[in-house]
Structure 1
Amino acid sequence: MNLLITGVTIADPNSQFNQQKCDVRIEHGKITAVESKLGTLTATKGETIFDGSGSVLSPGFFDLNCAIGDPGIETKEDIYTATAAAAAGGFTGLAVLPHTKPVVQSKGEIAYIINKAKGNLVDVLPVGAVSQDLEGKELAEMYDMKLAGAVAFSDGTKAISDDGFMSRALQYAKGLNGLLMVYPENKSIAGKSQINESKNSVLLGMKGLPALAEEMHISRDIFLATYHDAPVHISNISTAGSVALIKKAKKDGVKITCDVAAHQLVFTEELLNDFDSNYKVKPPLRGKTDIKALISGLKDGTIDAVSSQHRPHEIEFKDVEFEIAAYGIIALQTVLPLLLKAGLDAGQIAEKLSVNPRTLLGLAVPVIEKDAEANFTLYNATEEWLYNSENNFSKSANSPLLNKKLTGKVKLVYNNKQLQSYG
């Protein structure tokens, strides 16, 4: 489909047209013209025109931390529903985690995901397991998985507790030029905690997860990354102390990167006072001081990227007592509204949600320039919309934002010569 988008503001730090109002033409999957003198591009025969006045054109969003149930647990989410939700949220690429059944731990599972996702508007890139069966004891077939197309390695939501194993995994991944993406939690300190350790956890009578559990784990990984001169990526940090540790490590030259889940920038632990299990996430929702530090860390470059931390669950895992409810929320369609609510501007969103995630994985970064392959998201940062069962494209419904008005609406996504419009 040939397309002419008029009057958009481009948000792309790698484009010469960054922060300019432009008309953009797409023909046969390529950007064939970008004109900053508005109105100079006129429609050609058979070309669809979209009025982008008041909207932002960004390189397509990419998610570093998405869980789906495919293969094996498709009742939670399959590749087709995940990509439908992703596109509606502005994502044209997903890195999907390996905690499925079977675990993605060999070239066979990698090939399955790549082949099933072929031809989709949304690129689906598998992350292979670090350890066999995610047990943190023996290395998975990382070399074979990388050759088959794994973009990184992770044990998903399971923290790697054994220090010696983590040391060996870092060494091995370094030899493959591979990246470990690790979840930070000291299990012996975390125990069977449910929510953030604070006055609020005492008030609610629930075991709290101290910030110390996350920060001790990050400290260990900083020491190991320094010792081996190997890169490590910390997924979903949530505390002010974590931001401080990573900021210092970066200053000291450690090869460390990190991301934060979008909901950690807006939701606070006080939302748990009604025991709504849709707010039960891990790491848990923290306090206002942590949120302030996380947003500051994003803006000063300490935090490299924002992720969805999309965790779909069937109703029987969430519509139960808080203590036994599963952790996680569906999030692919709500990342943009949350980032806007957190105060990020269009340039920061493009950097943290489009450019940096791909750079971390060594992927080609889309750019809004003439002759570039078209891969973009068009959104209106001020438009309100109601998120409900009719426009929720996920197979699951475990989101505290369902049936609420959100600000920031995706209008178009384009990738792999495919266009999707959302009005």
Structure 2
Amino acid sequence: MKPILIRSVTILHPASKFNNKLADVLIKDGKIAGLSDKIIAKDDVVVIDGKGKYLSPGFLDLNANFGEPGFETKEDLISGAAAAIAGGFTGVAIQPSTNPVIHSKSEVSYIVNRTKDFITDVYPVGSISHNREGKDLAELYDMRLSGAIAFSDGTRPVTDSGLMSRALLYAKGFDGLVFSFPEDSSIAGKGKMNEGTVSTYLGMKGIPALAEEVHISRDLYLAEYNDCPIHFSTISSAGSVDLIRKAKKKGLKVSCDVAAHHLTLTDEALTEFDSNYKVKPPLRASSDVLALLKGIKDGTIDAIVSQHTPHEIEFKEVEFEIASFGIIGLQTVLPLLVKAGLPPENIVEKLAIKPREILNLPVPSFEEGEDANLVLFDLDSEWIFDNTTNRSKASNSPFFNQSLKGKVFLACNKAQVFNNF
């Protein structure tokens, strides 16, 4: 790759002396070769005007679903990674919702080896239970040795309290981290959307916020009893934010994330029965959205995720009742956070800094001689999310064929460059 000089760009990196300042950045041979107020361009350098744009460490997504192995028609590793880098994600943790399930060192090793040369770092999340059945513990330690970054049963909640307790305690022994998807299935039942005024109006079975909050309460007790860290995936209700805020004040080792779409959409979007708005946890009420945004600003919510869930057309373009849960989201996270009104510093903290801290990964350094793991973006440029810009195999998104504000222009990792000018 030719050397790249980004001129007069605003640096967003809390550990950099140039944080929130304008600087020139030179990238050469996959490393940051220069970072200063002014860099003289040479003839062989590609010069990029960074005015009005931001440069930060590459984003890292804690929750994405790729289909491979087994469900490659939904998304394979190549297409999923392509969607990730287009969204500014130089790292992505993928859920074990595959076939076979990522529940042993074989599947973990396959993903690690298959993706080692990708521009995006792909981190497999191993399942908590064998085959995600919630009965027996999977091979947690073996998976960790093979490269599993954390453990989760995806959107299948671990209903057995004893199993979850043992998983937390076992993972603690080797500094592993358990992700909890909080939903009490006995309360959620066969609900299809948030239980509330809109579900009553539509005559549809609802999933009450109580189902999420009861499960969070249980897992907080288990984490406290075992003195273990725990991470809650995709919380969605005001009550959940309050529970986690109190747990943090109490000193528990708890972290959590929220899906980007839960910050801008409410259950009122479902009045037309568009299955592209059918997600789990479901879109909640406007009061929940406000509580989530407050939780982001006060530090209760640590990270924001895509919850990228691709589906073939036959799983979504059907009656709402039988449509599958989930939307694709890797390329729309940044525009949704712009729409939610988050400032750029907040965006970088929740997409680039905190996710790595949760996974105990080093935050890419902005120092001369360090590997260039970064993303260049702005909050004002508009682009259309359609068949020409979509990098995923799937198109199940309520934002498809819409003009979105907030664009990733360039991303760099492992001496490779994604260029979207």
Same fold, judged at TM 0.5 (above): yes
Displacement of 1:407 in angstroms is 0.2
Displacement of 1:176 in angstroms is 1.7
Displacement of 1:325 in angstroms is 0.2
Equivalent of 1:406 in 395, 398, 404: 404
Cα offsets for 1:307-328 (capped at 9, x unmatched)? 0000000000000000000000
* 2:393 aligned with 1:385: no
Query: Which structure 2 residues correspond to residues 2-401 of structure 1 after superposition, within 5 A?
Result: 2-36=3-37, 40-401=38-399
Displacement of 1:27 in angstroms is 1.3
Displacement of 1:77 in angstroms is 0.2
Displacement of 1:68 in angstroms is 0.6
Q: In 1, distance between residues paired with 2:246 and 2:178?
A: 20
Q: In 2, distance between residues paired with 1:346 and 1:10?
A: 11
Q: In 1, distance between residues paired with 2:272 and 2:149?
A: 40
Cα offsets for 1:149-199 (capped at 9, x unmatched)? 111000011000011111111111111210001100000000000000001
Local SS of the residue matching 2:126: coil
Local SS of the residue matching 1:254: coil
Q: Which amino acid aligns with 1:109?
A: E
Q: In 1, distance between residues paired with 2:79 and 2:147?
A: 22
Q: Which amino acid aligns with 2:21?
A: Q
Local SS of the residue matching 1:393: coil
Q: TM-score, normalised by structure 2?
A: 0.99
Q: In 2, distance between residues paired with 1:364 and 1:115?
A: 21
Q: Which amino acid aligns with 1:227?
A: Y
Cα offsets for 1:6-33 (capped at 9, x unmatched)? 0111111121111001110111111121
Displacement of 1:42 in angstroms is 1.4
Q: In 2, distance between residues paired with 1:373 and 1:350?
A: 19
Displacement of 1:371 in angstroms is 2.3
Structure 1: gaps of 5 or more residues: none
The answer to whether the 8 Å contact 1:16/1:369 transfers is no
The answer to whether the 8 Å contact 1:58/1:350 transfers is yes
The answer to whether the 8 Å contact 1:13/1:350 transfers is no
Equivalent of 2:418 in 405, 412, 420: 420
Q: In 1, distance between residues paired with 2:110 and 2:416?
A: 22
RMSD across aligned C-alpha pairs, in angstroms? Answer: 0.7
Local SS of the residue matching 1:130: coil
Local SS of the residue matching 2:9: strand
The answer to whether the 8 Å contact 1:105/1:140 transfers is yes
Q: Which amino acid aligns with 2:4?
A: L
Q: In 2, distance between residues paired with 1:259 and 1:401?
A: 22
Structure 2: gaps of 5 or more residues: none
The answer to whether the 8 Å contact 1:65/1:307 transfers is yes
Q: Which amino acid aligns with 2:385?
A: Y
Q: Which amino acid aligns with 1:5?
A: I
Displacement of 1:271 in angstroms is 0.4
The answer to whether the 8 Å contact 1:4/1:50 transfers is yes
Q: Which amino acid aligns with 2:268?
A: E
Q: Which amino acid aligns with 2:255?
A: T
Farther-moved stretch of structure 1 (139-148 vs 40-49) = 40-49
Q: Which amino acid aligns with 1:147?
A: L
Instruction: Give structure 1 regions of 4+ aligned residues with deviation exceeding 4 angstroms.
Output: none
Local SS of the residue matching 2:151: coil
Q: Which amino acid aligns with 1:76?
A: K
Local SS of the residue matching 1:245: helix
The answer to whether the 8 Å contact 1:85/1:332 transfers is yes
Q: Which amino acid aligns with 1:54?
A: G
Q: In 2, distance between residues paired with 1:368 and 1:7?
A: 15
Q: In 1, distance between residues paired with 2:217 and 2:364?
A: 34
Displacement of 1:395 in angstroms is 0.3
Local SS of the residue matching 1:176: coil
Local SS of the residue matching 2:173: helix
Cα offsets for 1:186-229 (capped at 9, x unmatched)? 00000000000001101000011000000000000110000000
Q: In 1, distance between residues paired with 2:382 and 2:389?
A: 14
